[in-house]
Chain A
Amino acid sequence: MVIRTEGLSFTFGKQQVVKKLSLNVPEGSIYGFLGPNGAGKTTTIKLLLNLLKIQHGSIHIFEQDIQTNRISILSQIGSLIEQPAIYHHLTGKENLINRALLLQVPMNRVDEMLALVQLTNAAGKKAGQYSLGMKQRLGIALALLADPKLLILDEPTNGLDPNGIIEIRELLIKLVKEHNKTVFISSHLLAEVERMATHVGIINYGELLFQGSIAELQALSQPMICIETDNTVDAANLLKRNSFIIIDVTDSYVYLPYTSKQQTADVNALLHNSGHAIFSIGKQQKDLERLFLDITQKA
């Protein structure tokens, strides 16, 4: 495991922000750390980077305890937390040079990083004049500068346009596949994480509600029968009277749990014989968005 936390808890004043968190981030994974705003994602990331003192529990990164091996661990991590930390009075390139001086990285890496995040043309412009997307890209360049083994990114696509989001996503996938990096990325957008993550952890109110591979998350999602009909309320009542379980009724659709093909045929026949017009009927996987909402609302 690249990141392993055990019973990690953190309290701000009287409010417990992180509760007994046990994260397991395997090597070579893109770990999507999902949760609504205020769920405790940034606090967890600050704990991982030793910016906040651990109150309870432990953190091991590269199988070393962060409390006793802070510098050797941090030298293998590139991070971006919330808004990128950028000196506005310096140009984009100077921001990278400053970091390169601190990390003793060869200066040619600076130009490589500028090219990688497509800021070569804006390299001489003051970073204060950058758009939010450009700042975010510069932040990612700063995180990647020292060629770290582990990247910890807190909402890195915030403020990026769709093209920018796709570029960052492809870059992260490439880093993991071709350069064997591990990426820990937090987000409140499931759709974003779903497209690139290999592993997912879902957190809400500081508690880890789910952790596993993306396939395991999808397996949790129960299939349903989705029926499009003219009078959904009457149809639902009829099905209920005939001992079918109803999950949801909307203006156009009725949803019930899928068990077998035969059951779908029975439902169809029952509704048809009772005079309901059926426009469509079929098996539907509960999408992850709904699953994510279910998981986070249950807590």
Chain B
Amino acid sequence: MKGFILSFRSEFYKSRKTLGFWASIILPLFICTLIFIGFYVKAEKLAGMPPMMLWLQFAGATLGIMGSLLLPMYTIFIAYSVNSIEHKADTWKSIFGLPIARWSVYGAKYLYAAFLIFLCLALFVLFTIGFGNLLSVVKPSLRFDNYHMEKELAQVYFKLFLSSIGILSIQFILSLIWADFLKPMGIGFICTITGVILASKNWEYCYLFPYSHPMEAITTMMHRGEAAANGIQIDVFTKDVWVSLIIGAVIFIAGYFIVLKKSVK
């Protein structure tokens, strides 16, 4: 366990000056700022809207692209980024030559990638709520302060995080095996497009395909059945999320055995 914590700390230390780490902060900040500016400029048009609809519009602007493109591509990028640090520096041989168990090195790297995705999505929640409330201060005609959906937003983003685990495990092992950028990126991109097409065409088995999961997560998030008192109820643990977690776990464990068998070149 000690080796795992040391490796995790080292992952942070190594990556804190890389784009992979900063992308997790800059991406949500950039997108939320853009939407903030959009709402600020179009404030007059939106002024009459009920607060709940305002929030749905505001949060929906990011959530729309999040499921179809942003989250899968970002996951592919993060999986590549944490592994490419070692490929570029030719350091696999030195980290696997350290007196630290191999599973600690592998597990810490994987968990650090998952942590970066979590951080990015958590910041999306934080910035969405922050900028929404800021809008009600700078444009009092937008009544963001009259409605609260912090909990629902957090649930949706948590669901998105869980839905990315399957993709993360696959991309993580691809990026670990292949040093170059194009192979894991190319495979990931094609799978993402396929996933989006399958999910948007409502193919009945698309919940089994990991790259469809982020989009599925968005389409299955609204609770069907009896509506809650405030009108919005989020289903976090839907079928697709469970499949994502199971695929994620299975490939994570299989990946470990691949690493164990793999000779360090």
Neighbouring A residues of B89 by C-beta, 8 Å: 85-88
The number of residues on chain B lying at the interface, defined by a beta carbon within 8 Å of a beta carbon of chain A, is 25
Neighbouring B residues of A102 by C-beta, 8 Å: 6-7, 10, 95, 98, 100
Contact, CB under 8 Å: B99 / A72: yes
Given A87-B14, A88-B88, A98-B10, is A51 in contact with B99 using a C-beta cutoff of 8 Å? no
Neighbouring A residues of B99 by C-beta, 8 Å: 70-75, 103
- Tell me the bound Cα distance from A81 to B101 in angstroms: 20
Cβ 8 A contact of A89, one of B17, B96, B101, B263: B17
Which B positions have Cβ atoms within 8 angstroms of A?
6-7, 9-10, 13-14, 17-18, 85, 88-91, 93-101, 261, 263-264
- Tell me the bound Cα distance from A51 to B94 in angstroms: 9
Closest to B97 in A: A49
Contact, CB under 8 Å: B264 / A83: no
The proximity string for A residues 38-76 relative to B, scoring 1 for CB distances below 8 Å and 0 otherwise, is 000000001001111100000000000000001111110
Neighbouring A residues of B101 by C-beta, 8 Å: 71
CB of B106 to closest CB in A, whole Å: 14
Is A134 close to B, CB under 8 A? Answer: no
Contact, CB under 8 Å: B93 / A51: yes
Is A90 close to B, CB under 8 A? Answer: yes
Contact, CB under 8 Å: B85 / A51: no
Would you list 19 pairs from A and B whose C-beta atoms are within 8 A, ordered by A residue?
Answer: A46-B264, A51-B93, A51-B264, A70-B99, A73-B99, A74-B97, A74-B98, A74-B99, A77-B97, A81-B97, A82-B90, A82-B93, A88-B89, A89-B17, A90-B14, A90-B17, A101-B10, A101-B13, A102-B6
CB of A145 to closest CB in B, whole Å: 11
Given A46-B264, A88-B88, is A101 in contact with B9 using a C-beta cutoff of 8 Å? yes
Cβ 8 A contact of B264, one of A52, A71, A90, A97: A52
6 shortest interchain CB distances as A-B pairs: A75-B99, A85-B94, A74-B99, A85-B91, A51-B264, A49-B97
- Tell me the bound Cα distance from A81 to B9 in angstroms: 24
Given A72-B99, A88-B88, A101-B13, is A46 in contact with B93 using a C-beta cutoff of 8 Å? yes
Neighbouring B residues of A142 by C-beta, 8 Å: 94
Contact, CB under 8 Å: A97 / B6: no
- Tell me the bound Cα distance from A83 to B89 in angstroms: 10
- Tell me the bound Cα distance from A70 to B97 in angstroms: 9
- Tell me the bound Cα distance from A253 to B17 in angstroms: 64
CB of A127 to closest CB in B, whole Å: 9
CB of A71 to closest CB in B, whole Å: 5
Given contact pairs A75-B99, A85-B89, A101-B6, a sample of 20 additional A-B residue pairs in the complex whose CB atoms are under 8 Å apart:
A46-B263, A49-B97, A50-B97, A51-B96, A52-B264, A53-B261, A70-B99, A71-B99, A74-B98, A77-B97, A79-B94, A82-B93, A85-B94, A88-B88, A88-B89, A89-B17, A90-B14, A98-B13, A101-B10, A104-B6
Neighbouring A residues of B9 by C-beta, 8 Å: 101
Contact, CB under 8 Å: B98 / A103: yes
CB of B101 to closest CB in A, whole Å: 7
- Tell me the bound Cα distance from A273 to B9 in angstroms: 83
Interface residues of A in 233-263 (CB under 8 A from B): none
Which A positions have Cβ atoms within 8 angstroms of B?
46, 49-53, 70-75, 77, 79, 81-83, 85-90, 94, 97-98, 101-104, 142
Closest to A94 in B: B13
Which of B9, B85, B89, B263 has the largest number of chain A CB atoms within 10 A?
Answer: B89
CB of B57 to closest CB in A, whole Å: 40
- Tell me the bound Cα distance from A88 to B18 in angstroms: 11
Contact, CB under 8 Å: A85 / B98: no
- Tell me the bound Cα distance from A85 to B85 in angstroms: 11
- Tell me the bound Cα distance from A109 to B251 in angstroms: 40
Cβ 8 A contact of B13, one of A49, A83, A97: A97
CB of A90 to closest CB in B, whole Å: 7
Contact, CB under 8 Å: A71 / B263: no
Neighbouring A residues of B95 by C-beta, 8 Å: 102
- Tell me the bound Cα distance from A72 to B13 in angstroms: 25
CB of B234 to closest CB in A, whole Å: 40
Neighbouring A residues of B98 by C-beta, 8 Å: 74, 102-103
Neighbouring B residues of A98 by C-beta, 8 Å: 10, 13-14
- Tell me the bound Cα distance from A17 to B240 in angstroms: 49
Contact, CB under 8 Å: B90 / A83: yes
- Tell me the bound Cα distance from A38 to B96 in angstroms: 23
Neighbouring A residues of B93 by C-beta, 8 Å: 46, 49, 51, 81-82, 85
Neighbouring B residues of A86 by C-beta, 8 Å: 89, 91
CB of B60 to closest CB in A, whole Å: 37
Given A52-B264, A97-B13, A102-B6, is A87 in contact with B97 using a C-beta cutoff of 8 Å? no
CB of B93 to closest CB in A, whole Å: 5
- Tell me the bound Cα distance from A82 to B6 in angstroms: 26
Neighbouring A residues of B88 by C-beta, 8 Å: 88
CB of A180 to closest CB in B, whole Å: 20
Closest to A154 in B: B93
- Tell me the bound Cα distance from A83 to B91 in angstroms: 10
Contact, CB under 8 Å: B97 / A52: no
